[in-house]
Amino acid sequence: MSARAHDLAARLRPMVRADVPEVIAIERAAYPFPWTEGILYDCLRVGYQCWVLERGGRIEGYGIMSHGAGEAHILNLCIRPAAQRQGLGERLLRHLMAEARRHDADTLLLEVRPSNEAALRLYGKLGFSQVGQRPDYYPAEGGREHALILARALV
């Protein structure tokens, strides 16, 4: 089956508490400094937009976004390492963009590591531009890494 056919077989749905163990497993596989289960449960508790992308009954990725005052902020977007480069990240990002518009956001923001070249390519493809930088934002081997702040107009 082609990557596009796999993409079409995937479905998006709201994340629920029972998804957190599988989501945290993806988080740990994808990042050297993963979020904790507590952070994920807090995101659900406070009502952030929390989505999972499923394929074949398995969670392949997830996205978490806050919104308010005309802005939306992607807090986390991750695809299981074995499922990357199949169009799933783009599908999830497009879904979050649509959700941000649905909640009357006119701007979508996110932070990304400058070393995350794949993410930077995806964000650039979908019209995000750098609007700033957060010094020493991310933990990194041997210290800290800056975050690039990216934004995209949604109107």
Confidence check: pLDDT of 1 > 70? no
Confidence check: pLDDT of 73 > 60? yes
Token pair belonging to 30:
């994808």
Helix, strand, coil shares of the chain, percent, nearest 5, are: 35, 40, 25
Among 74, 116, 75, 111, CA closest to 94: 74
pLDDT tens figures, 95-145? 999 999 999 999 999 999 999 999 999 999 999 999 999 998 898 888 899
Token pair belonging to 15:
């994340």
* Active site (catalytic) residues: 111, 123
The whole-number average pLDDT for the span 50-57 is: 96
Domain boundaries, the chain: 3-110
Among 58, 116, 114, CA closest to 83: 58
CA 149 – CA 129 distance, rounded (Å) = 8
Cβ contact 48:64 at 8 Å: yes
The pLDDT, as a whole number, for residue 23 is 98
Query: 3-110 — its CATH code?
Result: 3.40.630.30
